[in-house]
Chain A
Amino acid sequence: MTATQLETDMSPPDRRGAAFKDMLSRLAKSAGLALVVGLLIFVFVNWADGFTGKFNLFNLTRNLSVAAVVGFGMMVVLALGHMNLALGSTALASVMIMGWVMKVAALPVPVAVGCGLAVGTFLGLINGWLIVKTKLHSFIITLATASMFLGAVLIVFRAGPISDLPREFTGISKTRYFGWVSGMLLITAVTGVVLGVMYKFTTLGRQMLATGANADAAELSGIPVNRAILIAHGLSGFLAALAGVMFTARQGSALLSTGEDWLLASFLAPLLGGTLLAGGYVSVLGAFLGAMLVGILQNGLVLIGVPDFWVEFVLGLTLLATVSLDRLREVISARRGN
């Protein structure tokens, strides 16, 4: 049961008690995840040669900054109880158009980045609009649009990647603080704070969570559910594009493989962080910690000599274990009558 549901069913004192319990449960969840991340860092610092190397930490934080934004992109639709399987294709379409504007049309970098972000937002809005109009599940709609976006990009950009992007743009990925912290982490942090503020303090954020908790109840309460869906998917598209822009800055080229293998990571970060698959609750900090856990796990396992395909196996297993544990917690909670 989510915080939003509790608020609609209970009297004020009960509601305060439930909210306090819920807050404690959330904190415990994030603290637990932080503990696991800390434990992993301890293990890899001691047993993975090269883990604390300057170059490794820089790359770790740089990859983390992209992975966290990818996770945020999925988190904002998970808040509705939806999913966005077109996240990778949206990022691809955005960066290819950004690359074209930057390299072929030779327009200034900020204009090109703006175009890329606008394309991502637009494609996200298309997803949202189709979901609202057809009333079909977001799984079906975004599965279809994922193929459509990918196909369209391949038709238009059949000549391959757009390489040799300007240094003014790729320089974003080379910025570092203290010699080892990627400057791109700042973009991720700002994004996370904005999302956190939106969900915690704005009407729009609460409307999205209420829609995710129970769309029918939200509609009856006068919440503009369709608008919330539209905006959440637009935001998901924007975040996919932002992750794509960061990824492209790091690669130095707009690649046709952008976003191709983001699907697992996009679910892993928010779900590990406590965001509910059914909607109604998100944790921005949790999603960031989730991305951190995945990034550190991937990096550390490779450094201790675990082959790449085993790393993929471990990541899949982590997702399965997380979702299963969450389900177990719900069952136990239901049996106790909470």
Chain B
Amino acid sequence: MKMTKLSVMALAAVAGFTTAATAETKVALVPGGPHPFFANWEGGGVDAVSDFGVAASDYRVPQEWKLDMQNKMLESLVSQGYNAFAVFPGDANGTNAMVSELKDFGAPTVSIAGCTQSPSPVEFCLATDVYKSAYMGTMALIEAMGDEGKIVHETSLLIDPNTQLRVAAVEQAIADAQADGKKVELYQHLTDVDDQEKADQKINALLAGKAHEFDGLVSTAWVASVVTSKALRASNNEDLKFIAIDHDKIVLDAIRDGVIQGTMLQNPHGQAYIATYALDKLLNGCSIKADAPFTPTPQHETFIDSGTMLVTKDNIGNWEAEMKAVTDEIMATFDEKFLDCAS
């Protein structure tokens, strides 16, 4: 039996190795590397498999944040039979080369949670509108501060295009508030604090030495949100107001206990869920509409906002249902807006 199989394989080798077409959709959800933000993709994939009858939508994490690690993993996943991909680009430009190879192989790819740089072979980018999220977060902080005071913005690396957008959004929110007569100003952009060690050092040093010089903080980085929530709880500093980002348990507990004022949620579950649905459709005869109403960003032309919302003490008991409603809203019109399944 084995010999027969071997003979068939050998024949295929001589013939030039044809890849068997598969009717099943096997989606791989691949982040750029390990980060707690992406953990909710797994649930989104599981729910999509259950709701849409997709063969698989598996969360697979490269060992490290390196483009070559991610590329190797994607190559290996193709060999393992995955035929559609939702990836967080390891590099906004660099990932395009790998996606192009996947496309040549017949595997559609979408970028989720972060976008590739256009022009890009991805079908679309489904991610948080980071500008909108940072703007809303800053406005919420200004309100929590009583419309006056100095603001610290904690964010990721400046070379990250998303960071540039977040910086611009925070500055715009402050400018708009000032135009409305509110007495707010920017104290500092504290960058490169989405890494545990750097966040610990920079944020704790700032809070220990300069907390009296500003009145509120808005974070647009997961790790910074966690570190600041912990530091504020430890210091019992009720004068400082804080709007975090994402849904780490430490952040949510801090909101529940009144230590911090709120957090801007993203929608990782919905990103994986919607991406799996769309990839299945794309593998089964649909294509992206030529006139789909994407909302282009400076980085990416085929951008879809995956949703964002502010969670405060008032709605903390219900945030998951509210975020699911955001996903449902996108899903309700997804086919009509973005897919052409006529053929």
- Which A residues fall within an 8 A CB radius of B? 42, 45-46, 49-57, 59, 63, 159-161, 163-164, 170, 174, 178-180, 247, 250-253, 255, 257-258, 260, 299, 302-303, 308-309
Contact = CB atoms under 8 A, between A and B. Distances in A.
5 contacts: A45-B6, A54-B17, A55-B19, A174-B101, A257-B69
Interface string B12-40: 11001111000000000000000000000
Interface stretch (B50-58, B88-96, B242-250, B308-316): B88-96
Contact of A163 (B12, B76, B92): B92
Given A159-B159, A164-B96, A180-B16, A303 B76 contact: yes
A57 B79 CA distance: 9
Given A46-B2, A255-B67, A53 B17 contact: yes
A196 B72 CA distance: 30
A50 B79 contact: yes
B76 A302 contact: yes
A255 B72 CA distance: 14
Shortest 6 CB-CB contacts between residues of A and residues of B: A252-B97, A163-B93, A253-B94, A56-B79, A50-B79, A54-B17
B273 to A, nearest CB: 26
Given A42-B6, A303-B79, A163 B94 contact: yes
A251 B71 contact: yes
B19 A54 contact: yes
Given A50-B81, A163-B91, A257-B68, A170 B63 contact: no
A55 B97 CA distance: 15
Interface in B250-270: none
Contacts of B13: 52
Interface residues of B, number: 34
B9 A45 contact: yes
Interface string B72-83: 100110111100
A50 B22 CA distance: 13
A46 B5 contact: yes
B66 A255 contact: yes
B80 A161 contact: no
Given A255-B66, A255-B94, A55 B79 contact: yes
B334 interface: no
Interface of B: 2, 5-6, 9, 12-13, 16-19, 63, 66-69, 71-72, 75-76, 78-81, 91-94, 96-98, 101, 105, 117, 159
B78 A55 contact: yes
B117 A46 contact: no
Contacts of A55: 19, 75, 78-79, 105
Given A164-B93, A179-B17, 20 more contacts: A45-B9, A49-B80, A52-B9, A52-B13, A53-B78, A55-B79, A56-B79, A57-B17, A59-B75, A63-B72, A161-B91, A163-B93, A163-B117, A180-B16, A251-B94, A252-B94, A253-B97, A255-B68, A257-B69, A260-B66
Contacts of A302: 76, 80
A53 B107 CA distance: 14
A257 B96 CA distance: 18
Which residue, of B13, B91, B92, has the highest number of chain A Cβ atoms within 10 A? B91
Contacts of B12: 52
Contacts of B16: 54, 178-180
A188 to B, nearest CB: 18
A51 B12 CA distance: 12
B91 A253 contact: yes
Nearest to B102: A55
Contact of B98 (A46, A180, A252, A255): A252
Contacts of A252: 93-94, 96-98
A159 B68 CA distance: 18
Given A53-B79, A174-B101, A257 B19 contact: no
A216 B72 CA distance: 45
A113 B48 CA distance: 46
Contacts of A159: 159
Contacts of A303: 76, 79-80
Contacts of A46: 2, 5-6, 9
Nearest to B92: A163
Contacts of A253: 67, 91, 93-94, 97
Contacts of A163: 91-94, 117
B6 to A, nearest CB: 6
A228 to B, nearest CB: 34
Contacts of A56: 75, 78-79
